[in-house]
């Protein structure tokens, strides 16, 4: 064990450390900083018996994140953790040892020219070194203990101090596959030992520029390890090649990565040699099996194969396309014709044809132009549809019931005139049940200048003195979240869920008039004043189709109940033997006898990782236990999905979404059960089919459902993370996708099971829409009536808080694309649509009367859509990222709306309550949701814990090809990163300077002239905290940015890699990203968090099942019928209980006036979900207590 001494800032020093270049900062394997304020104590190691220093590290609790109201900072988990220093890890060198002063070479340095002359002195010597490979005959000398590096180059004098520094990567090691990318262009250098089998001589700084790899098109050769040659400049004159043997110890990590990639190149080229055409689809479907068939018996091949953890090699091909192409092209022009190069090679992408741009402005329909002209009139162009398109659009509106009454029954009058209602009470009442009456505006709470309010009379309570009215308030559009923006139907009112029950009584003599209203109509008939077709739900700020049951307030009705049967799996809170406010999955096994109807018997489905100590278990892996408890029905929160699999399914990665997504969407899986009672201890038994378990399993995503899936159009699709996540919910299948980015479209295609299934439009959304309006027949353009679903992650740059020029032409053009989304919805009239954007779209920072969010609501509601909106936090669904996004959901009239996705992961500490804005009654809407969850939020350290250590980002990562950086930092910058302390967490360049941790040269060359980078709270070059959420992933890695510069790795001497931000955004490891690392990062940053998309997809699935009659001729399939158990051994006993789900914090009843507008707390919510003060309770704890086993 090496003794360490500490100085200020926690940087260890020690005389016994090996001298390394200044930029090679020593890195602790396990670090702790006594200077951070933590307590120092001594502890005896119970395993080794040695006494060690231990430090309780109190991690920094500063907030970090994007500069914006809704971009929650990288909120730190403030915990005291005991850490032990066990030693140090010295990072590998990046330059050859020959560059160090006083370094002693293994042998005396020889001149290369003299060595070759000596080795090739006679004909016999030359003949002994001659090698014959097929038709090739050449002379080879072995090169051992070699290092390959770049030439020495100097940069221009620095503008700060005038000093001259090295160019980027000067004298640094380089991998051989990087050399092959620039054949015959540059000169590289090598150090090593040349030998001819008898003599060994050391040469240094030998220039070369040729690399050759042999063994291609030879199936009997399993590796190219002994067939790699270099030719120096001097060797070319003598026709001598150097055969590579073993690298030097410092160069080994570079060479090992190259060897693996060179073998992959051989196997891929052999695969091409054996097949006429190779594509990504064939690489996924056939390549692995072909490899096993040809090379499976060879030990060296099996060792090579074991280094890559998957049978799908598409990500490798996408990460190194140029090297692979160069190697293949050298063997003949036929290899350049394979389709795979047009799918992955950044300079040859042609798998998705480009559609040349034609339109200059945002093309919109007349209806949408009328709605948005006050906001983006200059950026839009009104375009009339063709006659055929217009007729088809009108037919589609009728089919989806936009232009016909949704409900028209004899039990509910079509029109309510003022004089013809039959009284339902005795007496001469002027007001009758069913009337729409007017009340004067009391001017106390509600905003607006309207003189009167409207209300529907649902009941009359007549007393001797006065007649009290039971009313339900009706809202104008301006009194909803539509705000004061332009609403297309001036004579439309909205029913509401806001009654006067519990408020001060409203009396008949306060009525100032009556109004005639037509209910269930899509437009105003000529003989009435107003029409109503939708209800505004104040608690959820949602617009839903009006139903006959809405004419009586919920206070007068029994609450909705959920029906449960034995065998159902549900989430319950406040278990007797579990910590409070944590949801636990259980199976209902029995119901209590008469007299105790509120109790049920449940089987605990325990967490394999938490409760049994299996560290490799995923957080949503359960154990079918023999432990039972009684719980109250009021503690049942909602259903959950649990499926049974065997161990082989997990090992082969055959568990499908959502069950393989670590708990997102309330999805769990079981691989084992507790042993029988006669077995001692907590031994677990693996499950084997057929599963002899009474549990009613969740839906099987691999089965074909009798209902037709929704046909989707993926607008602004990006790389497809949003669309694929929605598809994983099971109700949707994307059939069209559109994006203008070349790398996005090819990444989308690369991840399709069948590339021909989805029609990909690589071009402008305006060109696509213009063709659709003109009725152009094309496979890429869907016809009206074909699209059931539209998703749109429209450009957010115009609304983003990071945009420094929101009023520029480009920003306004980007912002106006939400009008394009509205036009697509107006034209195609899908059953469902989802729009995603940044929450600042609803910010007050916009100009007065220019609220794009409210105008979008006006536009969709004006079409007749049911509309919901909410902000979803990525961390609440398992993403380790402080990303919040606004979602607007539109549902066609009369269809069931998707429920809001329930939270599955806890809020980090210090999460505050936020909202989208303020309603007309002064109360906030779109607030963050709170409530108990079943899982802990995921930190970025936890999400990336399995990634290999890539401490400087200079070497390719074999198991994870995208584990590479996007920035090539200069030597000065890397020295600066090395000197930013690891502890306390979240250290920045400015903090390091104030703590005297930065070398003078770094301080001198920093951009101090920037007031933002130099300020006290600057986040420029900030290290990410591994025990917190990573900041919102943007489209670029910009560590120097003073506001969003937290991209430096918490422990390594580099910025985050593409793979690490992929994990932050939830991209599955198997997904392929096409493009350079910088383009891949951009694709990741532009996407929607995968777990959020999956949660929305599962909510969509519930609505899709409820509307089964719309998509299938067979009887409608409900959620209850889908999970119904067919096992005759189970008695279908039924329990009823209202399923609460997750709800925002509720407000108390108000006595401020007759129309306070404050939603009343629904029964059963407050005690379970309200969080005092709007603060999170902190991370979910763990429980290792288990209930007793009941025989």
Q: Which residues are catalytic?
A: 796
Closest CA to 518 of 484, 474, 453, 452: 474
Give the containing element (helix H, strand E) for 314.
helix 314-319
Please state the φ and ψ torsions of residue 713, each to the nearest 5 degrees: -115, 120
Residue environment code for 5-17, b if the CB has 16+ CB neighbours within 10 A, otherwise e: ebeebbbbeeeee
- Report whether 951 contacts 1052 (CB < 8 A): yes
Structural Rg of the chain based on CA atoms: 34
As a whole number of angstroms, the distance between CA 697 and CA 1005 comes to 63
Calculate helix-pair angle for 1058-1065, 1077-1086, nearest 10 degrees.
Answer: 10
Residue 170's Cα: distance from chain center in Å?
38
Task: State the number of CA atoms in the 13 A half-sphere of 34 facing the CB.
Answer: 13
Pairing label, strands 569-572, 584-591 = antiparallel
Q: Which residues pair with 867 in a beta bridge?
A: 543, 890
* Residue 335: strand, helix, or coil: helix
Q: Which residues pair with 710 in a beta bridge?
A: 732
As a whole number of angstroms, the distance between CA 780 and CA 788 comes to 16
Lookup result for tokens 């309010």: 453
* Residue 880: strand, helix, or coil: coil
What does DSSP assign to residue 510? G
The tokens describing 617, both together, are 């278990």
* Residue 51: strand, helix, or coil: strand
The tokens describing 404, both together, are 């016909």
As a whole number of angstroms, the distance between CA 820 and CA 769 comes to 8
As a whole number of angstroms, the distance between CA 1030 and CA 76 comes to 10
* Residue 546: strand, helix, or coil: coil
Closest CA to 347 of 1178, 980, 1074: 1074
- Report whether 112 contacts 230 (CB < 8 A): no
As a whole number of angstroms, the distance between CA 1162 and CA 1144 comes to 11
As a whole number of angstroms, the distance between CA 924 and CA 353 comes to 47
- Report whether 12 contacts 28 (CB < 8 A): yes
- Report whether 1159 contacts 499 (CB < 8 A): no
As a whole number of angstroms, the distance between CA 981 and CA 814 comes to 40
Q: Cis omega (within 30 of 0) on the bond before 984?
A: yes
DSSP string, 815-859: HTHHHHHHHHHHHH--SEEEEEE-GGGG-TTSPTT--HHHHHHHH
Give the containing element (helix H, strand E) for 364.
strand 362-364
CB atoms within 10 A of CB 993: 18
The tokens describing 533, both together, are 């077709």
The tokens describing 549, both together, are 């049951």
- Cα–Cα distances in Å, from 573 out to 647, 666, 1048? 30, 14, 39
CB atoms within 10 A of CB 942: 15
As a whole number of angstroms, the distance between CA 703 and CA 249 comes to 53
Q: Cis omega (within 30 of 0) on the bond before 158?
A: no
DSSP string, 559-595: PP-EEEETT-EEEESS-TTS-TTB-EEEEEEEEPPTT
């Amino acid at each position: 064990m090496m003794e360490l001494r500490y100085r200020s800032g926690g940087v260890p020093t020690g005389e016994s450390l090996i001298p390394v270049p200044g930029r090679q900062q020593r890195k602790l394997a396990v670090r702790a900083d006594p200077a951070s304020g933590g307590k120092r104590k001594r502890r005896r190691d119970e395993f080794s018996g040695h006494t060690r220093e231990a430090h309780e590290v109190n991690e920094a609790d500063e907030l970090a994140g994007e500069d914006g109201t809704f971009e929650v900072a990288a909120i730190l988990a403030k915990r005291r953790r005991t850490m032990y220093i066990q030693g140090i890890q010295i990072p590998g060198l990046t330059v050859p040892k020959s560059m160090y002063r006083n370094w002693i070479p293994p042998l005396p340095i020889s001149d290369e020219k003299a060595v070759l002359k000596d080795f090739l002195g006679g004909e016999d010597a030359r003949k002994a070194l001659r090698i014959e490979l097929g038709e090739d005959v050449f002379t080879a000398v072995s090169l051992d203990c070699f290092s390959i590096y770049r030439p020495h180059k100097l940069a221009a004098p620095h503008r700060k101090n005038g000093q001259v520094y090295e160019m980027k990567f000067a004298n640094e090691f380089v991998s051989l596959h990087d050399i092959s990318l620039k054949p015959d262009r540059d000169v590289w250098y090598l150090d090593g030992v040349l030998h001819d089998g008898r003599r060994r001589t050391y040469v240094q700084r030998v220039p070369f520029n040729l690399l050759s790899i042999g063994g291609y098109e030879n199936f009997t050769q399993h590796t190219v390890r002994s067939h790699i040659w270099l030719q120096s400049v001097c060797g070319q004159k003598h026709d001598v090649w150097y055969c590579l043997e073993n690298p030097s110890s410092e160069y080994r990590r570079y060479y090992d990565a190259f060897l693996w990639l060179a073998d992959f190149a051989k196997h891929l080229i052999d695969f091409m040699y054996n097949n006429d055409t190779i594509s990504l689809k064939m690489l996924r479907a056939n390549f692995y099996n072909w490899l096993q068939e040809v090379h499976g018996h060879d030990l060296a091949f099996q060792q090579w194969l074991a280094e890559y953890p998957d049978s799908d090699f598409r990500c490798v091909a996408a990460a190194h396309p140029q090297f692979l192409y160069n190697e293949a092209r050298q063997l003949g022009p036929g290899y350049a014709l394979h389709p795979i190069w047009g799918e992955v090679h950044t300079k040859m992408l042609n798998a998705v044809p480009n559609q040349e741009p034609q339109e200059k402005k945002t093309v919109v329909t007349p209806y949408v132009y009328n709605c948005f002209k006050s906001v983006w009139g200059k950026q839009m162009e009104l375009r009339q549809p063709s006659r055929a398109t217009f007729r088809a659009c009108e037919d589609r509106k009728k089919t989806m019931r936009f232009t016909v009454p949704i409900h028209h029954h004899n039990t509910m009058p079509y029109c309510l005139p003022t004089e013809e209602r039959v009284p339902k009470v005795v007496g001469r009442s002027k007001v009758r049940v069913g009337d729409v009456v007017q009340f004067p505006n009391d001017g106390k709470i509600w905003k607006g200048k309207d003189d009167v309010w409207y209300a529907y009379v649902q009941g009359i309570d007549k007393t001797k003195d006065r007649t009290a009215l039971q009313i339900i308030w009706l809202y104008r559009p301006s009194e909803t979240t539509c705000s004061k923006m332009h609403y297309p139907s001036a004579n439309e009112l909205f029913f509401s869920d806001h009654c006067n029950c519990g408020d001060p009584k409203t009396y008949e003599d306060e009525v100032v008039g009556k109004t005639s209203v037509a209910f269930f109509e899509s437009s105003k008939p000529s003989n009435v004043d107003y029409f109503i077709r939708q209800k505004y739900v104040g608690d959820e700020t949602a617009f839903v189709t009006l139903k006959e049951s809405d004419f009586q307030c919920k206070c007068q009705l029994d609450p909705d109940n959920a029906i449960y049967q034995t065998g159902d799996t549900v989430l319950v809170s406040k278990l007797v033997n579990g910590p409070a406010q944590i949801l636990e999955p259980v199976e209902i096994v029995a119901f209590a006898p008469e007299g105790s109807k509120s109790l049920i018997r449940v089987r605990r489905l325990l967490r394999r990782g938490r409760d049994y100590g299996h560290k490799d278990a995923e957080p949503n892996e359960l154990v079918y236990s023999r432990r039972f408890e009684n719980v109250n029905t009021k503690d049942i929160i909602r259903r959950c999905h649990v499926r049974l699999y065997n161990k082989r399914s997990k090992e082969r990665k055959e568990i499908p979404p959502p069950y393989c997504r670590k708990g997102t969407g309330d999805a769990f899986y079981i691989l084992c059960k507790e042993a029988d009672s006669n077995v001692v201890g907590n031994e677990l038994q693996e499950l084997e089919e057929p599963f002899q378990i009474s549990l009613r399993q969740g839906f099987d995503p691999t089965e074909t459902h009798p209902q037709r899936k929704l046909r989707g159009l993926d607008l602004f699709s990006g790389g497809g993370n949003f669309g694929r996540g929605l598809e994983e919910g099971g109700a949707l299948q994307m059939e069209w996708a559109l994006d203008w980015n070349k790398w996005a479209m090819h990444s989308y295609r690369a991840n399709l099971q069948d590339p021909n299934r989805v029609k990909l439009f690589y071009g402008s959304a305006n060109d696509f829409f213009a063709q659709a309006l003109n009725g152009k027949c094309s496979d890429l353009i869907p016809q009206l009536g074909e699209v059931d679903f539209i998703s749109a992650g429209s450009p957010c740059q115009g609304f983003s808080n990071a945009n420094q020029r929101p009023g520029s032409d480009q920003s306004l053009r980007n912002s106006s694309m939400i009008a394009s989304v509205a036009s697509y919805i107006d034209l195609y009239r899908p059953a469902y649509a989802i729009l995603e954007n940044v929450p600042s779209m609803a910010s007050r920072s916009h100009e007065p009367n220019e609220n794009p969010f409210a105008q979008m609501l006006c536009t969709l509601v004006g079409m007749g859509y049911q509309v919901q909106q909410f902000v979803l936090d990525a961390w609440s669904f398992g993403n380790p990222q402080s990303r919040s996004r606004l979602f607007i959901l539109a549902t066609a009239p009369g269809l069931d709306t998707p429920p809001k996705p329930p939270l599955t992961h806890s809020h980090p500490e210090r999460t505050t309550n936020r909202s989208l804005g303020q309603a007309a009654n002064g109360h906030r809407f779109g607030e963050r949701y709170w409530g108990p969850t079943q899982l802990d939020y995921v930190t970025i350290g936890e999400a990336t814990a399995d990634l290999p250590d890539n401490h400087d980002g200079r070497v390719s990562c074999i198991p994870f090809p995208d584990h590479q950086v996007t920035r090539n930092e200069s030597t000065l910058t890397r020295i600066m990163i090395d000197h930013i302390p690891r502890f306390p967490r979240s250290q920045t360049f400015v903090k390091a300077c104030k703590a005297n941790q930065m070398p003078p040269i770094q301080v001198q060359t920093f951009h101090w002239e920037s007031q933002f980078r130099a300020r006290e709270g600057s986040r420029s070059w900030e290290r990410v905290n591994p025990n917190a959420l990573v900041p919102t992933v943007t489209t670029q890695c910009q560590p120097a940015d003073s506001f969003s510069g937290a991209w430096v790795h918490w422990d390594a001497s580099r910025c985050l890699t593409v793979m690490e931000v992929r994990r932050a955004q939830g991209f599955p490891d198997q997904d392929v990203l096409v493009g350079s690392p910088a383009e891949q990062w951009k694709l990741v940053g532009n996407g929607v968090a995968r777990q959020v998309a999956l949660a929305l997809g599962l909510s969509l699935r519930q609505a899709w099942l409820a509307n089964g009659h719309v998509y299938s001729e067979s009887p409608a399939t409900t959620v209850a019928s889908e999970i119904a158990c067919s096992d005759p051994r189970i008695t279908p006993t039924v329990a009823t209980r209202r399923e609460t789900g997750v709800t925002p914090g509720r407000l108390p009843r108000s006595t401020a006036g007759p129309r306070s507008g404050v939603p009343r707390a629904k029964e059963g919510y407050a005690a379970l979900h309200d969080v005092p003060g709007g603060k999170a309770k902190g991370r979910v704890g763990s429980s290792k207590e288990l209930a007793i086993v009941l025989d």
